[in-house]
């Protein structure tokens, strides 16, 4: 379990003190794939670096598997770090070593005998799908292959936690998908807790179970992915969930507007707007909509304009209220 308690981190800059993280408290359960998402400059990378103390927080506590990280001495910290592997946006492989030697590197640091390390490294390269690249050098690999080698390297010391710092941000969408799938498999098969830092909503969508949204150094929203995606409450969360702008529109006055949020319903069986028309005769119009399928569930929200007729509008609201898996709110036009 990873617990962050009241973390605060400040940087002294020429323009004054910059508060990168402000009173952040998070709990990440064992076996979770936890996403931390935010815009550039929100403090994501600083936050993930506090977990393994690459950045020392100014205040607060980081507890990883019962170890209070900020109180460890240099030696204790090195030992703790072997259980917390990390992968990076730029892969950070040793360019002068071949893939096998790269995967051996953390074991070499830990004093694992060379033949044992190499055997393990070959297994890991197999696991990440690159058994034939052991003798290749990083410069000969594609971005996706480099990240696979980095993942194999990260797994070499049998970590309990894998920190991914924008690990797919330098990859194309197909490669991103494949790398995320690999991370998901590793999480399932090896039971490693994964923390994913990203600015891409699609990454969180594909693999994360829980998510925290970071904005200007603060956690503004956290919860299960389905929860946050179906009904983002804060402006920062809305910006991320609806990158093209949250569904809202302008309509002549007189219409009542309702925002409907899907929480992963069987909307595929029974389309809401069509049902409204057929079953209660309410002709609503869609002002704006942004829905998506995540893990086979429909998430997102729609802004509906209710009919002019007050009775029909009431009937529509009553229908929406009883519709399974929806939340709704009336909004002012």
Q: Which residues bind other proteins (CB under 8 A)?
A: 52, 54, 77-82, 84-86, 88, 90, 92-98, 105-106, 108-110, 137-140, 157, 163
DSSP annotation string for 82-97? TTEEEEETT----TTS
> Least separation, in Å, of the C-beta of 150 and other proteins?
8
DSSP annotation string for 106-137? HHHHTT--HHHHHHHHHHHHHHTT-GGGTTS-
> Least separation, in Å, of the C-beta of 88 and other proteins?
6
> Least separation, in Å, of the C-beta of 93 and other proteins?
7
* Sequence-separated (6 or more) residues with CB below 8 Å from residue 21: 7, 8, 9, 43, 46, 47, 50, 57, 217
Closest to other proteins by CB, 34 vs 262, is 34
Instruction: Quote the CA–CA distance of 204 and 81 in Å, as a whole number.
Output: 25
Closest to other proteins by CB, 69 vs 284, is 69
- The Cα-based distances of 287 to 43, 172, 252, 256 in angstroms read 35, 33, 11, 11
> Least separation, in Å, of the C-beta of 183 and other proteins?
17
Closest to other proteins by CB, 47 vs 258, is 47
Whether 319 and 280 have beta carbons less than 8 Å apart is answered as: yes
Closest to other proteins by CB, 82 vs 292, is 82
Closest to other proteins by CB, 23 vs 83, is 83
Whether 229 and 213 have beta carbons less than 8 Å apart is answered as: no
> Least separation, in Å, of the C-beta of 261 and other proteins?
39
């Amino acid at each position: 379990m990873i617990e962050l308690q009241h973390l605060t981190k400040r940087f002294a800059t020429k323009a004054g003190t910059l508060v990168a993280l402000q009173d952040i408290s998070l709990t990440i359960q064992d076996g979770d794939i936890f996403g931390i998402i935010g815009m550039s400059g929100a403090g994501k990378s600083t936050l993930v670096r506090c977990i393994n103390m690459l950045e020392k927080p100014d205040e607060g506590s980081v507890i990883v598997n019962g170890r209070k990280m900020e109180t460890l001495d240099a030696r204790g910290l090195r030992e703790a770090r072997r259980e917390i592997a990390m992968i990076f946006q730029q892969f950070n492989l040793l360019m002068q070593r071949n893939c096998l030697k790269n995967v051996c590197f953390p074991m070499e640091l830990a004093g694992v005998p060379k033949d044992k390390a190499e055997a393990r490294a070959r297994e890991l390269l197999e696991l990440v799908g690159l058994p034939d690249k052991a003798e290749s050098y990083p410069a000969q690999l594609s971005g996706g292959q480099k990240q696979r080698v980095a993942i194999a390297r990260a797994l070499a010391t049998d970590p309990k936690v894998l920190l991914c710092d924008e690990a797919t941000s330098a990859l194309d969408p197909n490669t991103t998908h494949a790398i995320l799938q690999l991370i998901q498999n590793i999480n399932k098969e090896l039971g490693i807790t994964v923390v994913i830092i990203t600015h891409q909503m699609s990454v969180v969508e594909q693999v994360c179970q829980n998510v925290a949204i970071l904005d200007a150094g603060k956690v503004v929203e956290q919860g299960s992915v389905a929860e946050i995606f179906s009904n983002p409450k804060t402006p920062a969360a809305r910006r991320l969930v609806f990158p093209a702008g949250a569904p809202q529109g302008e309509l002549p006055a007189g219409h009542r507007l309702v925002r409907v949020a899907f929480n992963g319903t069987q909307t595929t069986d029974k389309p809401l707007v069509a049902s409204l028309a057929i079953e209660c005769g309410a002709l609503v119009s869609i002002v704006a909509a942004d829905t998506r399928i995540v893990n086979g569930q429909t998430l997102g929200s729609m802004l509906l304009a209710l009919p002019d007729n007050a009775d029909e509008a009431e009937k529509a609201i009553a229908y929406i209220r009883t519709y399974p898996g929806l939340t709704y709110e009336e909004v002012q036009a």
